Structure 1
Amino acid sequence: MPRLTTITLYEHDEKRYRDIAGDKKAIQDALIKLNKQFKKDFKKLDRSEDNSDTEDTIDESKGVVEVYANKIKARHYVGFAAVDNVFLQILPKVFKPKKEQTQETQEDTWEPILAFIRMLDMAYGLKIKDHDLAYLQGRNLRPNLYEVFIYLFAKSLWSEVQRGYHREYVEVHREEKFLRGKLLMSRQIRKLPHQLNTFSVEVHELIEDNLLNRIFYASVREALRRTTWGLNRKLLGELMLAFDGITPIHLRTEHFERVHFTRLNERFRRPFELAKLLFMPASGKGRSREVSGFFVDMNKLFERFIERVLVRNLPPEYKLFYQESYPFLKNQNGSSQKPDYVVRKGNTPVVVLDAKYRELKERIPSSDMLRQLYVYSRIWGYKTSHENDSKPPAVIVIPSSSTYNQGLPDKPLEFEFFDERKLFIVAYNMDYVKTGAIFKADKNFRRSLNNIIGKLNT
């Protein structure tokens, strides 16, 4: 079996083939296949409408990576994919180390991987336990996003299986010597004389061989086929024995779509969501997936991440409205201009905010940012009163770290437009996400919010 080629990139980084341990032609073929699948129906957690954080216009036809004759270049998608014998993982640029690192020689790659998973967990509610991530980091394993997610899936499933198998009532048609359940007359009357010693019946049995367990069994088999970590192989081997007797299936999209959770199977939701993330086919054609994994647009991920941060840190008398959840934010006063978030006190909009996954040059927002936030403030100022502009302050939330937007103060940067309308820039320190001390980043962020809100009453 050919050796697996592992490629680690950060957003918008490029790498030459001579710096990758693997066959150039095989790498090119695999990445071109990934791009084709990505454009067609590959799993993307979210799309963002704000993709201007690049020098060139975003072109979806390029796929996940740009493939050139002498190099490859990452774009604005972050995640991982396994295709043929090539594994590609793209990590957020905000977590990029100060010096160039490669996965083969630097264990520090663990920090960006775990920070990315923490962002996903918070933004999409994956319910990943931080002590599981710390355990993996301390095992001296080669950092690999795919392997981490396989471990999280296997660990969560094994924990639930140890508490007891999931059983549910399943409709079964069978031949019985004694009449029980519902007699299937349409089948019974068509029997030949020598078959009349049995009854064709329909019964409902509480069994383990149900759809949810079949999905888990198929996912475990697929994970065992792909994993290279001994830790994962041991866990998955235990699960293979646990699901012995479950009918094997070939995973299709409709299998996952038919699962519904109730109080009886709710405890299996977490491993199911991870299995769905990893192994649900991109289409319902029932064919094997040549490409496995997922990608997320970092602009959208940061936006959803900050939404959860704001919910945690706003004072109780204020309420947050997120444009994705509240339709009225999408076409305010007939305009297509819409902020990511609006903070209200009662029915009055008091602050408009936008999450920008961008780098500030010399701590000054670009002219496009300024125009955009000014329009937001104008629109929502007149929402309060059609005669008087209440001039709600506009806030830009950006990420910062030791290597990205570094040196920004803990206090918000304050600017003023020509009409005395206020603009603030607040940085969320992503270094604390790397270390797992998110409460420290929240503390600084909360202080900045209170600073801005306090100015409304002066």
Structure 2
Amino acid sequence: MSFSEGESLWRHYGTQVNVDFPTPKTDNRWRLTSQGWVGFIPLTSDLGIHLVPKVPVANLFYMLEYAYDLKGLRFLENTVHCRTLQEFYNSLAKTLALRILNRERKGLYRSYRDEHEVLKYLRGRIDLARHVTRPWSIAFDCEFQDHLADIEDNRILAWSLHLIARNQLCSEEVARICRIAYRRIRASVGLQPFKGRDCIGRTYNRLNQDYQPLHSLCRFFLDHSGPSALAGAEYQMLPFLINMPRLFELFVANWLKARLPPEFKVQPQEQVVVGTSGELVFRMDLVLYDLERGGVCCILDTKYKVSDTPSTQDIAQLFTYELARECDRAVLVYPTASIKPFEDSIQNKRVKSMAFALEGEDMRESGEGFLTQLLSWVKDGSG
């Protein structure tokens, strides 16, 4: 890696990768350390950096399936034998492109949209208020509805294919299929940027219900396709980066939603405004509600970090959350079982560490152990 390439990596991806330049301290070599991210960063058209996950690849796929509501979708069977993140990416990209092609052959979902145009013929109804202001005009101010495929549901698909085709993780075969699907859908759909959050909370009916799994896949690609840092390139390659702390939080939240007993409910990213001015806002990772007793029974804070013991700052943060939500239990959730167990209390406010271990071969067993411990502690404090 040249000095200019290393400098570009440091300037554009310094938050994802810690870059130590060659010095006697590093034995005159580059030292790159991931800051909790996995994926691929392109530096030039023929040089890129793979950030390899510490967790087993199969466990990473398990997390992604839950985090992005892909669990149980039959088309994910093709990913079972994937051995690398690149193979997983290609499998999902190919699945998305083929399903979009299949939907395009059947006909894209369309919706009526209000239009207003000045036409030489009458269509719909005339906007009389505007028309009378130009009595000399032989054209009509028409208001009508058009049945179009150029709607947000389809634009999300087009933008996702646009990003996938620009990623170097794509194999030649998958890139070709994605380009075909992109050209087909672009014939009737405009190109508009979207974020992963735009795929959440959408409304479906019997005519577009097959779009729901497509949008779930799109959310995965939109969340992890970052902006390009290649200056001057005519067709810039995009990085593919997964923020592991955020993924761990999403995974634990959705896993609990799927496994909690019906008397409990988990709410992710809950905010509490503190003070009369409202300038201080606490955002808690996960808040657990007891629906039978009413109110908050526990606060969970996910910590994707390798440490022997919980930090003083993390513990103090949870005690503050408990005071803000008038709750007496809080849990620090770690991705490894190697962390030293911790439990303490201040004025009846209790904090405990628990592990949802990602390093084992059976994450289902790890998850069930975590859930059993959590429920036992929430119910009677014995977990």
TM-score w.r.t. the length of structure 1 is 0.58
Conserved? CA contact 2:42–2:48, under 8 Å? yes
Contact residue 153 and residue 275 of structure 1 kept, 8 A: no
Contact 2:167 2:240 in 1 (8 A): no
1:66 counterpart residue number: 18
How far apart are the structure 2 equivalents of 1:243 and 1:120? 27
Give the structure 1 partner of residue 35 of structure 2: 75
Task: Give secondary structure in 1 for the equivalent of 2:334.
Answer: strand
Query: 1:154–1:236: 8 Å Cα contact kept in structure 2?
Result: yes
Is 1:325 the equivalent of 2:270?
A: yes
Deviations along 1:7-48, one digit per CA (max 9) or x if unpaired, are xxxxxxxxxx5xxxxxx356425524633xxxxxxxxxxxxx
Residues 188 and 27 (structure 1), Cα distance of their counterparts in 2 relative to 1, 3 Å cut:
same
Of the three residues 128, 136, 145, the one matched with 1:204 is 145
For residue 135 of structure 1, report the CA deviation from its aligned partner.
Answer: 1.5
- Deviations for 1:145-180, whole angstroms, at most 9, x for unmatched residues? 75455335424534543553122234374756x533
Deviation by residue 1:97-129 (Cα, 9 ceiling, x = unmatched): xxxxxxxxxxxxxx52x5435434433x35366
Q: Is residue 233 of structure 1 aligned with residue 175 of structure 2?
A: yes
Matched, 1:122 2:66: yes
2:48 equivalent to 1:90: no
Shift in Å at residue 229 of structure 1?
1.5
Instruction: Measure, in 1, the Cα distance between the counterparts of 2:225 and 2:73.
Output: 23
What amino acid does structure 2 have at the position aligned with 1:122? Y
Tell me the distance in 2 between the aligned counterparts of 1:338 and 1:244.
40
Cα distance in 2, alignment partners of residues 175 and 336 from structure 1: 53
Shift of the 290–243 alpha-carbon distance from structure 1 to 2, 3 Å rule, reads: closer
CA contact (8 A) 1:216 1:275 kept: no
User: Alpha carbons of 1:440 and 1:203: their partners in 2 closer, same or farther (altered >3 Å)?
Assistant: same
Equivalent in the alignment of 2:188: 246
Q: Residue 428 of structure 1 is aligned with which of 353, 356, 369?
A: 356
**Aligned residue in 2 for 1:396:** 332
Whose relative contact order is higher, 1 or 2, with alpha carbons under 8 Å and at least 6 apart?
1
- Distance in 2 (CA, whole Å) between partners of 1:152 and 1:29 is 37
Query: Deviation string for 1:380-399 (max 9, x for gaps)?
Result: 79x47xxxxxxx34433211
Task: Choose the corresponding residue for 1:440, options 346, 350, 365.
Answer: 365
- TM-fit CA distance, 1:137: 5.4
2:104 aligns to what?
161
Match of 2:109, SS state, is: coil
Match of 1:165, SS?
coil
Superposition map of 1:56-455 within 5 A = 62-67=14-19, 68-69=21-22, 70-71=29-30, 72-82=32-42, 84-85=44-45, 86-93=47-54, 95=55, 111-112=56-57, 115-123=59-67, 125-127=68-70, 132-136=75-79, 138=81, 143=86, 147=90, 150-161=93-104, 163-170=106-113, 171=115, 173=117, 175=119, 179-183=122-126, 185=131, 201=142, 203-210=144-151, 212-213=153-154, 216-217=157-158, 219-220=160-161, 223-224=164-165, 226=167, 228-240=170-182, 242-243=184-185, 245-246=187-188, 249=191, 251-252=192-193, 261-263=202-204, 265=208, 267-269=210-212, 270=215, 272-274=218-220, 276-277=222-223, 290=236, 292-293=238-239, 295=241, 297-322=243-268, 324-327=269-272, 340-345=285-290, 346-347=293-294, 349-361=296-308, 364-373=309-318, 379=323, 383=326, 392-400=328-336, 405-406=337-338, 413=341, 415-416=343-344, 423-431=351-359, 438-455=363-380
Post-superposition CA distance 1:34-77 (Å, at most 9, x none): 33xxxxxxxxxxxxxxxxxxxxxxxxxx3322332431332234
**Helix, strand or coil for the counterpart of 1:166?**
coil
Structure 1's 141 and 186: CA in aligned 2 closer, same or farther, altered over 3 A?
A: farther
SS at match of 1:63: coil
Cα distance in structure 2, aligned partners of 1:237 and 1:320: 40
The one-letter code sitting in structure 2 at the alignment partner of 1:167 is R
Structure 1 321/88 Cα, relative in aligned 2: closer, same or farther at 3 Å? same
Counterpart of 1:446 in 2: which secondary structure?
Answer: helix
| C-alpha contact 1:281 1:289 (8 A) present in aligned 2 | no
SS of corresponding position for 2:70? coil
Matching residue of 2:26: none
Aligned sequence identity (%): 18
Corresponding residue of 1:31: 9
Asked whether the equivalents of residues 80 and 293 of structure 1 are also in contact (C-alpha less than 8 Å), the reply is yes
Distance 1:216-1:117 versus aligned 2 partners, 3 A rule:
same
In the alignment, the residues of structure 2 paired with residue 352 and residue 260 of structure 1 have an alpha-carbon distance, to the nearest angstrom, of 25
Provide TM-score, normalisation by structure 2: 0.67
Q: Kindly provide the CA deviation profile for residues 297-354 of structure 1, in whole angstroms up to 9, marking residues without a partner as x.
A: 43343233323334444444344454x22436x679x998886445454346544443
The gaps in structure 2 that reach 5 residues or longer are 23-28
Letter in 1 for 2:334: I
Please report how far the alpha carbon of residue 428 of structure 1 lies from its aligned counterpart in structure 2 after TM superposition: 0.8
CA RMSD of aligned residues (A): 4.9
CA distance in structure 2 between the aligned counterparts of 1:369 and 1:419, rounded to whole angstroms? 18
Secondary structure of 2:86's aligned partner: coil
